[in-house]
């Protein structure tokens, strides 16, 4: 919890963001998060986020590669390689990486997404050099051998079964993405991969992917916590600096979605207990499409369905009692197009027809009548307050920087985000809604119990 002293020190009135006489003088201002950045000679970008809130540091090494960089037929290779990164080098035995971190009082993990793959450790400051040495070692010296690959493939396939095949909502999401972004296209293929592809991936495919993408000039090192830029630079030069770089091909993403939209996808499954209704719209990111709408779309998502005070929640849950919950979501951090999503869980005895009609009514009210300055300001303050609180976390900062910098953003873009959110006007929000809320860019989906008649 942020202390009152820190809260008062971290917030200012909107006068700092708006000119003299501005009517919007109550917006919160977000103090710039202390950060320093530099590049090593081999192209590795380094970001340091110093914080004295606790005697710990977090190292995150992010590679600018994810499942959207795969080709159909080899889906899941980015995620499979993430698993293999723990299976040893010439000097570190299989599975020993995490054991070493644990024995030194730390914890570690990794993640793969569509545009990014990351590896992170949290540990005491005097062990930062240890995890840097370990991470730099597997950046260039990973050993991918059949003996370790075969059992790890079973782990990956079991993860697919647990998180996708046994979760009806995940299967529906997979089908929705295929329609929204186009079957066999980068953002339509699942991060975990199709099971048939994973079964065929071998040493040659994983090694080729590793050699193609795992190089310092395709990575970002982010260190947050109880350290200094000088200390991080010294350690990074020592451990990452000697690793040679390699040529990196440009990353490519489509600037169009799937064909034949709008589409409707229904999954009836005996494992489903509660009906779920969703609609996803193709939307611009900060990099592709009508990028000028990205900040307004963040405000729109918050205003329309981002909290229990939002328009959709009040109309669907509080006033009409049609739904148990209602939401909207949007993230601009994508190298290609992204999506703007709406979701509703109907109340008992309510039909999908009623839900769709009510959602359409709320969208029409916004499109026809616009939004007020007060509700835009409320949404902006909710977003800005979340940014302030996130500065207390050693996890959210590195993930934010990693996602932004891996998808074409800069440190300057991150620093300017609060000001750009604060600059969004009601007219901007309305223009963004009109641009995105179009039938020709939508996929409506329904998750329902088998043989549900609603």
The answer to whether the Cα torsion of 289, 294, 298, 299 is positive or negative is negative
Q: How far apart are CA 93 and CA 134, in angstroms?
A: 11
Q: How far apart are CA 276 and CA 346, in angstroms?
A: 7
Contacts of 173 (CB under 8 A, 6+ apart): none
Q: How far apart are CA 132 and CA 119, in angstroms?
A: 11
Q: How far apart are CA 218 and CA 222, in angstroms?
A: 13
Q: How far apart are CA 61 and CA 139, in angstroms?
A: 10
Pick the CATH number of 263-449 from 3.40.630.30, 3.30.830.10, 3.40.50.10190, 3.30.450.20: 3.30.830.10
- Token pair 């995105």 in the structure block, residue: 436
In the chain, which residues fall in CATH 3.30.830.10?
36-239, 263-449
* pLDDT tens sequence across 293-307: 999 999 999 999 999
List residues bridging with 265 in a β-sheet: 445
**pLDDT band at residue 29 using 50, 70 and 90 as cut-offs:** confident
* pLDDT tens sequence across 234-287: 999 999 999 999 999 999 998 999 999 999 999 999 999 999 999 999 999 999
- pTM to 2 decimals? 0.92
pLDDT value at residue 160: 98
pLDDT value at residue 415: 94
The residues assigned a catalytic role are: 82
Percent of the chain with pLDDT over 70: 94
By the 8 A CB rule, do 219 and 61 touch? yes
DSSP 8-state code for residue 80: H
Class for domain 36-239, per CATH? alpha beta
**Element of type H or E holding 298:** helix 294-305
Please give the sequence-ordered ranges of beta strands (E in DSSP) within 293-337, or none if there are none: 323-330
**pLDDT band at residue 39 using 50, 70 and 90 as cut-offs:** very high
Q: How far apart are CA 173 and CA 181, in angstroms?
A: 12
Q: How far apart are CA 431 and CA 299, in angstroms?
A: 12
Mean per-residue pLDDT over the chain, rounded: 93
Q: How far apart are CA 116 and CA 331, in angstroms?
A: 15
Tell me whether the omega of the peptide bond preceding residue 262 falls within 30 degrees of 0, making it cis.
yes
Q: How many CB atoms lie within 10 A of CB 152?
A: 18
pLDDT value at residue 21: 34
By the 8 A CB rule, do 272 and 448 touch? yes
Contacts of 57 (CB under 8 A, 6+ apart): 122, 123, 124, 125, 128, 223, 224, 225, 226, 227, 394
pLDDT, mean of residues 75-91: 97
The answer to whether the Cα torsion of 61, 66, 70, 76 is positive or negative is positive
């Amino acid at each position: 919890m942020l202390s009152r002293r820190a809260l008062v020190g971290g917030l200012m009135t909107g006068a700092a963001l708006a000119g003299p006489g501005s009517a919007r003088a109550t917006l919160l201002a977000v103090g710039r998060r202390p950060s320093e950045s530099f590049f090593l000679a081999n192209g590795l970008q380094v970001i340091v986020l110093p914080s004295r809130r606790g005697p710990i540091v977090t190292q995150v090494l992010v590679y600018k590669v994810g499942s959207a960089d795969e080709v159909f037929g080899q889906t899941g290779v980015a995620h499979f390689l993430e698993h293999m990164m723990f299976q040893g080098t010439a000097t570190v035995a299989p599975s020993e990486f995490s054991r070493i971190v644990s024995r030194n009082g730390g914890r570690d993990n990794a993640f793969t997404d569509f545009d990014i793959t990351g590896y992170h450790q949290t540990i005491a400051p005097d062990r930062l050099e240890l995890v840097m040495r370990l991470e730099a070692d597997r950046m260039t010296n990973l050993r991918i051998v059949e003996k370790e690959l075969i059992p790890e493939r079973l782990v990956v396939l079991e993860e697919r079964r647990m998180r996708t095949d046994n979760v009806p909502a995940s299967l529906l999401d997979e089908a929705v993405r295929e329609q929204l972004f186009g079957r066999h296209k980068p953002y339509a293929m699942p991060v975990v991969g199709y099971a048939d592809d994973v079964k065929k991936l071998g040493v040659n495919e994983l090694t080729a992917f590793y050699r193609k993408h795992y190089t310092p000039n395709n990575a970002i090192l982010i260190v947050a916590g109880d350290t200094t830029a000088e200390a991080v630079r010294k350690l990074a030069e020592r451990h990452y600096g000697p690793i040679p770089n390699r040529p990196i091909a440009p990353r490519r993403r489509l600037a169009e979605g799937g064909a034949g939209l709008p589409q409707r996808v229904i999954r009836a499954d005996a494992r489903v207990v509660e009906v779920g209704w969703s609609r996803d719209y193709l939307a611009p990111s900060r990099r592709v499409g009508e990028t000028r709408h990205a900040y307004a779309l963040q405000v729109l998502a918050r205003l329309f369905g981002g909290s229990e005070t939002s328009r959709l929640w009040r109309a669907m849950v509080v006033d009409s009692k049609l739904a148990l919950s209602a939401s909207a979501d949007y993230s601009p951090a994508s190298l290609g197009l992204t999506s703007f999503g709406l979701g509703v869980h109907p109340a008992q005895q309510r039909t999908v027809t009623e839900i769709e009609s009510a959602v359409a009514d709320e969208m029409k009210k916004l499109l026809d009548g616009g939004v007020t300055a007060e509700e835009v300001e409320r949404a902006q303050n909710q977003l800005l307050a979340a940014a302030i609180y996130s500065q207390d976390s050693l996890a959210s900062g590195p993930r934010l920087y990693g996602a932004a910098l891996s998808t074409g953003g800069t440190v300057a873009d991150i620093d300017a985000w609060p000001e750009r959110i604060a600059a969004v006007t009601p007219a901007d929000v309305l223009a963004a809604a009109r641009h995105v809320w179009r039938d020709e860019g939508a996929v409506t989906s329904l998750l329902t119990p088998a043989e549900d008649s609603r």
